[in-house]
Amino acid sequence: MNDDEGRVDDDATGEPDRPGDRADTEATAPLSFGRPPAPPAPPGPPSPSWVPPTTQPPPGRWTGYPPPPGTQPMPAAPARHVAPTGRVPGWVWPAVTVLALVIGLLGGGLGSVVYEGLTSNDNPGAVSNGLDGVDTVSLPPLTKADGSVEAVAQELLPSTVQISAEYNGQKGGATGSGFVLDRQGHVITNNHVVAEAASDDGPIEIVDQDGDRYEATLVGRSPVYDLAVLYAPGVKSLKPASLGASQALRVGEGVVAFGSPLGLSSTVTAGIVSALHRPVTTGDSANDSSYINAVQTDAAINPGNSGGPLVNLRAQVVGVNSAIATTGGSSAGGEAGNIGVGFAIPIEQVKITADQILRTGEARYPVIGAKVQTGQDNGTGAEISEVVDGTPADKSGLQKGDVVTAVNGQRVSDGIALIVAIRAHQPGETLTFTVDRGGSQRTIRITLDSEVG
């Protein structure tokens, strides 16, 4: 393993990192986009209708963010006795009605002007206030008692969309999934669904549950977190999905996956949360540095589910389906599909990245300015292979050969775990690294810098 593989962050060139292979662990792969359904074939052995994903290295820990505090209804105000008054003149009520109508029209017009003022003509769909400037939903549509898979499906299907994007010069050559973020026409999906279309300004379409199509504009994307935000004015009429909290999940609780696996739109599958805090890479062969802290689930997800929502039984989105595990086995010359091990990007990271993209059209991720070895798997920590001059790591005193064993008190077992531990935080935060240097333990505080990606 050379030093250029498995970096904690980019060096001055800004080139993406690449992890090393780990032969003793199960590989993961991004959920490849699906292909449009092929016409019926003559009788004979079936053949795959999708392009299998590439093999990926595996997964450590999500330090994440705490769940939001619980809420409760405001108590009713006590009744008050009002003394009777004289009769109101008849002309008052028509005047009040007209005044209310005028105020309502002015308010609606002002709201429209304010929102248009928040958007950028140079980047359609951009919002200067980020998520604060759009109308998202967070209240759970269902109670725990109502949380059946059927009820969840009824709530989320209207908010789930199919993504059709250009691929290899072919319009609609790639299909994926997404969900409606807000009432302003924004949709969340995976970067790898639209990456090729974005690179050559190819067409992207959003298809709703009824089959209606909307031409979409890419607001921005993050290869590092495998997320993209799309904008289509026609989507304003669609119902936004309710956003929950992955940190409130418990292992074993039920979840539901939505999307368009293999091009089959509006597909619903159910399972459980198999594990939390799984560091996995969701990047393809061109960008292996896409590390996420994933929610692991056994709900069936396949190529084409990319970008679709993973939902709890209160009908709230808790993650974005992004990767599946592979065993290296294949059938008919291709890799196996769903084997009951899928991974979703936590909704907390989705909110952060979407907010950055809406504000500026790009996303940023935290870096310290060092390279780390990822091919080793002895569980003793992450060995630093290089420290770049002038970076936060260099200024803090981190040295080549140091072995990072913990970040903010959370154990770090290897290089990938260190990368994920850093990326679970935000630029500007100061983290405490526990370091083994020549058998002597010390602590080093590093303030995170950032890179675009």
What DSSP assignment string belongs to 231-292?
Answer: E-GGGGGSPPPEE--GGG--TT-EEEEEE-GGG--SEEEEEEEEEEEEEEE---TT-TT-EE
226: pLDDT confidence band, cut at 50, 70 and 90? very high
- From the candidates 9, 10, 17, 226, give the one annotated as an active-site residue: 226
**226 or 92: which leads in pLDDT:** 226
Q: Which of 91-105, 154-168, 275-289, 309-323 has the lowest mean pLDDT?
A: 91-105
Same domain, 225 and 342: yes
Give the residue numbers spanning the domain of 381: 365-452
Q: Give the residue-averaged pLDDT of 120-129.
A: 80
Residue 84 included in any domain: no
Same domain, 409 and 447: yes
Same domain, 56 and 161: yes
Domain boundary residue, one of 360, 389, 424: 360
Q: Which of 93-97, 239-243, 360-364 has the lowest mean pLDDT?
A: 93-97
49 annotated active-site: no
192 annotated active-site: yes
The span from the CA of 257 to the CA of 360, in Å, is 30
Same domain, 375 and 435: yes
306 annotated active-site: yes
Domain boundary residue, one of 336, 360, 384: 360
Same domain, 343 and 252: yes
Same domain, 244 and 354: yes
Q: What is residue 328's predicted lDDT score, i.e. its pLDDT?
A: 62
Write the pLDDT tens digit of every residue in 246-275.
999 999 999 999 999 999 999 999 999 999
> 188 near 354, Cβ under 8 Å?
yes
Residue 439 included in any domain: yes
Q: What is residue 87's predicted lDDT score, i.e. its pLDDT?
A: 47
CATH number at residue 415: 2.30.42.10
**105 or 300: which leads in pLDDT:** 300
Write the pLDDT tens digit of every residue in 339-356.
999 999 999 999 999 999
Q: Helix, strand or coil for residue 349? A: helix
Same domain, 347 and 414: no
Name the domain count of the chain.
Answer: 2
Residue 81 included in any domain: no
| pLDDT > 70: percent of the chain | 69
- From the candidates 192, 208, 277, 425, give the one annotated as an active-site residue: 192
- From the candidates 159, 177, 290, 306, give the one annotated as an active-site residue: 306
State pTM to two decimals.
Answer: 0.74
Residue 377 included in any domain: yes
The span from the CA of 167 to the CA of 146, in Å, is 41
Write the pLDDT tens digit of every residue in 283-320.
554 445 678 889 999 999 999 999 999 999 999 999 99
| Mean pLDDT comparison of 40-54, 188-202, 273-287, highest-scoring range | 188-202
Q: Kindly compute the dihedral angle of the four CA atoms of residues 178, 181, 185, 189, in this order, to the nearest 10 degrees.
A: -30
pLDDT tops 50 at residue 100: no
CATH number at residue 179: 2.40.10.120
Residue 396 included in any domain: yes
Q: What is residue 27's predicted lDDT score, i.e. its pLDDT?
A: 58
Same domain, 144 and 276: yes
281: pLDDT confidence band, cut at 50, 70 and 90? confident
Same domain, 292 and 381: no
Residue 13 included in any domain: no
The span from the CA of 318 to the CA of 295, in Å, is 9
Residue 193 included in any domain: yes
Same domain, 259 and 394: no
Same domain, 158 and 200: yes
